[in-house]
Structure 1
Amino acid sequence: MDPTLYTAAVEGNISKGDFTLAEYLKREEENAYQVTPTGNTILHVAAHYGHSHFVAEVLKITPALLCHPNKKNESALHIAANEGHIEVVHLLLSIDEHYKETLMRMTDENGDTALHKAVRSRHQDVARLGERRS
């Protein structure tokens, strides 16, 4: 993954200096699909750090990343639920019904859904949010 893009996702910067996330992602379609060595997209990275505003911007531009799995077969929802980032989880689940259903049923390499991850990581508030949405 391009270091500028990775840093923007880690820091949650949708605009900084000459960098604008929207322009960067719209420049070439493949830009949104760049991954880290573990297969994480910018959506996974932003979800890990809890940057809901960055997640929202990415989804506006490239909604297909929502269900894109990393090398452990985790979606961005798995990552956000495991980390307890309720705002990001809420945002990811507020996408249209088709995606929500698909996301809630996706399992990682261990067979865990995002709800399993939230419960195991003791993020009951996130787990309750997932229960209401399923």
Structure 2
Amino acid sequence: MVLHRAIHAARVGDLAALREMAATGHLSPAISDAQGAGLTHHAARCGRLDCLRFLVTELGLAADERALNRATPAHDAAATGHVRELQWLVEQGGCDVEAQDASGATALHLATRFGCVAVVEWLLAAGGHLSDLETNCGAVAAHYAAAKGDLECLKLLLHHAPKCVNHQTRLGATPLYLACQEGHLSVVEYLVRGDGASTHLRAHDGMSILHAATHSGHHSLVVWLATFTDLSLSCQDREGATALHFAASRGHRRILETLLHMGSKVTRDYWGGTPLHDAAENGELEVSSNLRITKI
């Protein structure tokens, strides 16, 4: 895709070119890319403060214009780690720091998602209730940090808003659940040992954090949860599936063997299925063979 000349100038910080286009009538507020991002979006996401200041204060472009996904230039600056541009947009451009895009994400959600620690620090220092704001799926910024394994951002967020440690999304996932699902052991240890995360909150389908770790195949995390928490190794989700069912259905032989060795009970789910049934139904031949040998 060939960028409009003005967009290219805004991205590379060519203020002289922008001034020339403005003087000759070739700079319009209507200029945008295929995603509806305008000149201020591109200047913000590329860290071009001089161009951003010119476009807003001299040319009169809106500092809070929206792209097709409802993102503002402040969203773009936050997502790309440009603190200086974000600060100017909020303090001088009048951008709402709590503005949400089409998915419900704020600048803080995006800064956390992309690991922009300096932006997260500035946004938290700016005040307000950013840490508590939810996306459309019910996620707060701490969910993004936990899912990404970003311990530095997570510590900042939970220091600012401790109650978010057990916040559940629309599907019931907590930051701890997502950390288990994605296999971030250091985050799990911090949440459980240092920040009071509940190990017993479940997703709305009944899956526990042990189920999440097992389903995703995170062996070391499963061992840690089984060793250092009081979770039942035989707990069942809403359909009666245990961690053994998840391990068998996904072919996680090592986890299956570990759970059995640590005392996990072999039970049927509410449909009458055993871990062996699940392994066979999903084509996990090695696991099926091992289960038959052990007569499970």
Q: TM-score range by the shorter chain?
A: 0.7 to 0.9
Between Structure 1 and Structure 2, the one with more helix by share is: 1
The counterpart of 1:57, out of the listed 221, 224, 229, is 224
Letter in 2 for 1:13: H
Pairwise CA distance, 1:67: 0.6
Residues in 2 aligned to 1:90 and 1:45: alpha-carbon distance in whole angstroms: 17
1:127 aligns with 2:288: yes
Higher RCO by CA contacts (8 Å cutoff, separation 6 or greater): 1
Partner residue in 2 for 1:10:
181
Residues in 1 aligned to 2:207 and 2:196: alpha-carbon distance in whole angstroms: 17
Residues in 2 aligned to 1:3 and 1:62: alpha-carbon distance in whole angstroms: 17
Post-superposition CA distance 1:101-129 (Å, at most 9, x none) = xx22x011110111111111111111122
Percent identity, please. 27
Give the SS at the match of 2:256: helix
Larger Rg: 2
Give the SS at the match of 2:198: helix
* Consecutive unaligned residues in structure 1, runs of 5 or more: none
Count of residue pairs the alignment pairs up: 124
Pairwise CA distance, 1:29: 8.6
Give the SS at the match of 1:108: coil
- Matched-pair contact (CA < 8 Å) for 1:25–1:61: no
| TM-score when normalising by structure 1 | 0.81
1:93 aligns with 2:254: no
Pairwise CA distance, 1:23: 4.7
Pairwise CA distance, 1:94: 1.6
Post-superposition CA distance 1:68-120 (Å, at most 9, x none) = 1110111011011111111211211121xxx34xx22x011110111111111
1:42 aligns with 2:203: no
Alignment map for 1:69-84 (pairs within 5 Å):
69-84=236-251
Q: 1:30 to 1:64 in 2, by over 3 A?
A: same
